Amino acid sequence: MARNIGRFLVLIAAALIYSSALASSIFQPISDSHRSAALELFNPLGGSFSSVEKTYEELRTFEVLGIDKRSDISTAACQSVSEILGSSSSTLKDLFYALKVNGILQCGIKEDVFEGVASRLQSVVGGASALLDFYYSVGGLALIKGQTSKDDLYLADAEGVFRSIKALSQSDGRWRYNSNNPESSTFAAGLALEALAGIVSLSSSEIDQSLISTTKNDILKLFDSIEKYDDGAFYFDEKLVGAREHQGVLSTTSSVVRGLTAFAAVTSGSLNLPSGKILGLAKFFLGIGIPGDAKDLFNQVDSLAFLESNTVSIPLILSLPATVLSLTKKDALKVKVNTVLGSNAPPLTVNLLQVLRSGSKDTSLIESQELKFDPENAVYTLDAMPKSVDVGKYTFVFEMVLHDSDHKNLYATGGRIRIPIFVTGVIEVDSAEIAVLDSDLGSIETKKKIDLAGENTVSLSANHLQKLRLSFQLSSPLGHAFKPHQAILKLTHETKVEHMFVMGSSGKQFEIILDFLGQVEKFFYLSGRYNVQLAVGDAVMENSFLKAIGHVDLDLPAPPEKAPQPPAQPLDPNLIYGPKAEIAHIFRAPEKLPPKKLSLTFSGLTLLPFLGFLVGLLRLGVNLKNFPSSSVPAVFATLFHLGIAAVLSLYMLFWLKLDLFTTLKALCFLGAFLMFVGHRILSHLASSSSKLKSA
Q: What is the pLDDT of residues 611-643, one digit of tens each?
A: 888 788 778 776 666 777 778 888 888 898 899
Structure confidence at residue 18 (pLDDT): 43
Dihedral pair phi/psi, residue 515, rounded to 5°: -90, 105
Rounded CA Rg of the chain: 45
* % of residues, the chain, pLDDT over 90: 62
When comparing pLDDT for 4 and 370, which is higher? 370
Q: Apex CA 224: angle with CA 279 and CA 212, to 5°? A: 90
Structure confidence at residue 242 (pLDDT): 54
Q: Apex CA 332: angle with CA 408 and CA 283, to 5°? A: 40
Q: Is 377 exposed, middle or buried (0-12, 13-18, 19+ CB in 10 A)?
A: exposed
Model confidence at 159: pLDDT above 50: yes
Confidence of residue 11 (pLDDT cuts 50, 70, 90): very low
**CA-to-CA separations, 42 to 52, 101, 292, 353, in angstroms, rounded:** 13, 15, 11, 44
Q: What is the DSSP letter of 428?
A: E
Listed in sequence order, the residues at least 6 apart from 113 whose beta carbon sits closer than 8 Å to its beta carbon are: 82, 85, 86
Cα(70)–Cα(662) distance, integer angstroms: 69
Residue length of the chain:
695
Cα(96)–Cα(117) distance, integer angstroms: 10
Give 40-60 pLDDT, tens digit per residue.
988 765 455 678 999 999 999
Give 299-341 pLDDT, tens digit per residue.
999 999 999 999 899 999 999 999 999 999 999 999 999 999 9
Cα(405)–Cα(542) distance, integer angstroms: 45
Model confidence at 16: pLDDT above 60: no
SS3 of 207-235: the string is: CCHHHHHHHHHHHHHHHHCCEECCCCCEE
Q: Apex CA 468: angle with CA 464 and CA 469, to 5°? A: 160
> Is 188 strand, coil or helix?
helix
> In terms of Cα–Cα distance, which of 407, 388, 562, 398 is closest to 479?
388
Q: What is the DSSP letter of 512?
A: E
Q: Is 527 exposed, middle or buried (0-12, 13-18, 19+ CB in 10 A)?
A: middle
Give 120-136 pLDDT, tens digit per residue.
999 999 888 999 999 99
Given the DSSP bridges, would you call strands 458-463 and 545-555 parallel, antiparallel or unpaired? parallel
Structure confidence at residue 48 (pLDDT): 59
Q: How far from each other are the two terminal CA atoms of the chain, in whole angstroms?
A: 110
Model confidence at 295: pLDDT above 80: yes
Confidence of residue 2 (pLDDT cuts 50, 70, 90): very low
Mean pLDDT of 414-441: 91
Model confidence at 21: pLDDT above 80: no
224 close to 271: Cβ distance less than 8 angstroms: no
Calculated CA dihedral for residues 434, 439, 444, 448, nearest 10 degrees = -20
> In terms of Cα–Cα distance, which of 261, 260, 268 is closest to 221?
260
Cα(178)–Cα(123) distance, integer angstroms: 18
pTM of this prediction? 0.74
Structure confidence at residue 15 (pLDDT): 45
**CA-to-CA separations, 195 to 101, 208, 605, in angstroms, rounded:** 19, 16, 104
Q: Which residues pair with 490 in a beta bridge?
A: 500, 533
Model confidence at 31: pLDDT above 50: yes
